[in-house]
């Protein structure tokens, strides 16, 4: 097998396995602690450190990857996720909010080390920085999201069939096997910069990277403000769905979203120059903002809640997937050739910041004002993301 194809296969398999456990863990935590009587805001607070340390990790991780290699940062991420899961195997009386927040902090660091490593390595694996790069980044990201959906479903099923700790033990065993295989199969040093970068290089001096990072902050804040806590609790409370129904429903959505994202290069048109994609980001962003607003308005009328939410989610999946796929490609395209992990780490630091803001707002807004408020704030944040994408500098886009 070609060495680059071998590396791509190992990195993708590693990323897939991690993503399965990440999705399952999130669903396990949301549903298990909701069943224990935690309020939506308290559940959101469990992910506070997860998202906060993701911000820190992406900044430091990009710099670390440039110094010690992306394969090593990826393997460190896997090992840390095993540690985070193991922390949740303590007796239930110890499993309080503080303990879970610390475990989630470790999991957040692990997740972003793994993601930053996988995305950054794509820059060195392909020589075609246009359509070829777009296709492999879209496939990696889309397949990851589809598997995250499978993880949501798996987490809900495990919680329904086994207890909380039984599900955790199964994931620890699986990840340990993957970690050992990764150590054996991925030996090439990926992403190491010849001249070791100083720590102050974690901040990008590229206008395109900075504007795209800000757009990403708004885009993922807009998704998580209604999807992370508000939607599963809304489905459980309003529709009286049980755990596996909520988990399966959300899992199916994420799988569909991931599949759309994987084929995004075929959906976003033949002109895939950065300047053309800037215009598409603005258009798709405007269309996306209409979706949560439309769901919010429809829920105030005498329509079937299931139909309104389901149709809205499907439209949201289509347009959001294209937006996200364009973002993921452009950041890898814009990233510096020598030390791509620095720019990509900075970008995913903004991504984690948006997720943090969205997660906290999801619990707080739902508890204080209801599901509709989460949807309206989502529409507003998407509009901000679209306006920010419009600010991407024409000079850098044309020259890249």
- pLDDT above 90: percentage of residues in the chain: 20
- The predicted pLDDT at position 297 comes to 96
Helix locations, 47-130, DSSP H: 48-68, 70-87, 97-125
- Phi/psi of residue 20, nearest 5 degrees: -55, -45
- pLDDT tens per residue, range 162-221: 778 888 888 899 889 988 888 887 666 665 555 555 555 556 667 888 889 999 999 999
Out of 124-128, 312-316, 349-353, least confident range: 124-128
Residue 120 has pLDDT above 60, yes or no: yes
Sign of CA dihedral 58, 180, 14, 189: positive
Tokens 């803001």 identify what position? 357
DSSP string, 332-391: HHHS-STTHHHHHHHHHHHHHHHHHHHHHHHHHHHHHH-HHHHHHHHHHHHHHHHHHHHT
Which whole number is the average pLDDT over 105-123?
79
Rounded to whole angstroms, how far apart are CA atoms 341 and 174?
27
Fold assignment, 3-190+202-399? Growth Hormone; Chain: A; (1.20.1250)
Q: Map residue 175 onto helix, strand or coil.
A: helix
- pLDDT tens per residue, range 345-370: 788 888 888 988 998 898 889 989 99
Q: Are residues 187 and 7 in contact, defined by beta-carbon separation less than 8 angstroms? A: no
Residue 319 has pLDDT above 90, yes or no: yes
Rounded to whole angstroms, how far apart are CA atoms 315 and 162?
34
- pLDDT tens per residue, range 244-283: 788 778 878 888 888 898 888 888 776 667 677 788 888 9
Q: What is the mean pLDDT of the chain?
A: 81
Q: Are residues 31 and 246 in contact, defined by beta-carbon separation less than 8 angstroms? A: yes
Which pLDDT band, with edges at 50, 70 and 90, does 309 fall under? very high
- The predicted pLDDT at position 399 comes to 44
Residue 382 has pLDDT above 80, yes or no: yes
Q: Are residues 18 and 81 in contact, defined by beta-carbon separation less than 8 angstroms? A: yes
**Contact partners, residue 387, CB within 8 Å, separation at least 6:** 282
Q: Of the spans 23-32, 58-67, 156-165, 172-181, which averages the highest pLDDT?
A: 172-181
Gap between the terminal Cα atoms of the chain:
32
- The predicted pLDDT at position 395 comes to 55
> Is the pTM higher than 0.85?
no
Residue 161 has pLDDT above 70, yes or no: yes
Residue 222 has pLDDT above 90, yes or no: yes
Which pLDDT band, with edges at 50, 70 and 90, does 126 fall under? low
Rounded to whole angstroms, how far apart are CA atoms 296 and 302?
12
- pLDDT above 70: percentage of residues in the chain: 84
Which whole number is the average pLDDT over 229-238?
87
Q: Please state the three-class secondary structure of 280-331 as a single string.
A: HHHHHHHHHHHHHHHHHHHCCCCCCHHHHHHHHHHHHHHHHHHHHHHHHHHH
């Amino acid at each position: 097998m070609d060495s680059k194809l071998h590396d791509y296969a190992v990195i993708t398999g590693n990323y897939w396995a991690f993503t399965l456990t990440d999705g399952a863990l999130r669903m396990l935590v949301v549903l298990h602690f909701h069943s224990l009587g935690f309020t939506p805001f308290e559940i959101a607070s469990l992910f506070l450190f997860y998202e906060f340390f993701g911000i820190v990790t992406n900044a430091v991780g990009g710099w670390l990857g440039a110094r010690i290699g992306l394969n090593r940062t990826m393997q460190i991420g896997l090992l840390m996720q095993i540690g985070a899961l193991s922390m949740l195997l303590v007796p239930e009386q110890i499993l309080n909010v503080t303990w879970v927040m610390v475990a989630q902090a470790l999991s957040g660091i692990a997740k972003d080390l793994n993601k930053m490593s996988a995305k950054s390595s794509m820059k060195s694996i392909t020589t075609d920085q246009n359509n070829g790069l777009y296709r492999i980044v879209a496939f990696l990201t889309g397949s990851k999201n589809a598997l995250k959906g499978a993880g949501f479903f798996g987490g809900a099923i495990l919680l329904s069939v086994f207890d909380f700790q039984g599900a955790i033990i199964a994931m620890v065993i699986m990840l340990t096997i993957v970690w050992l295989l990764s150590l054996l199969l991925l030996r090439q040093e990926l992403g190491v910069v010849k001249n070791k970068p100083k720590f102050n290089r974690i901040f990008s001096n590229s206008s395109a990277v900075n504007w795209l990072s800000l757009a990403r902050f708004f885009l993922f804040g807009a998704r998580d403000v209604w999807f992370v806590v508000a939607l599963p609790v809304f489905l459980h409370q309003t529709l009286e769905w049980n755990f596996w129904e909520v988990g399966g429903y959300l899992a199916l959505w994420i799988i569909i979203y991931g599949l759309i994202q994987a084929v995004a290069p075929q959906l976003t048109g033949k002109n895939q120059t950065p300047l053309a994609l800037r215009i598409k980001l603005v258009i798709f962003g405007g269309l996306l903002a209409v979706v949560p607003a439309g769901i919010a308005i429809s829920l105030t009328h005498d329509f079937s809640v299931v139909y309104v939410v389901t149709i809205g989610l499907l439209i949201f999946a289509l347009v959001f997937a294209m937006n996200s796929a364009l973002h993921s490609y452009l950041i890898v395209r814009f990233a510096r050739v020598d030390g791509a992990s620095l720019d990509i780490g900075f970008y995913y630091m903004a991504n984690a910041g948006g997720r943090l803001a969205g997660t906290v707002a999801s619990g707080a807004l739902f508890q204080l004002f209801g599901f509709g408020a989460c949807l309206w704030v989502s529409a507003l944040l998407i509009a901000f993301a679209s306006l920010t994408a419009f600010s991407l500098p024409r000079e850098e886009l044309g020259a890249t």
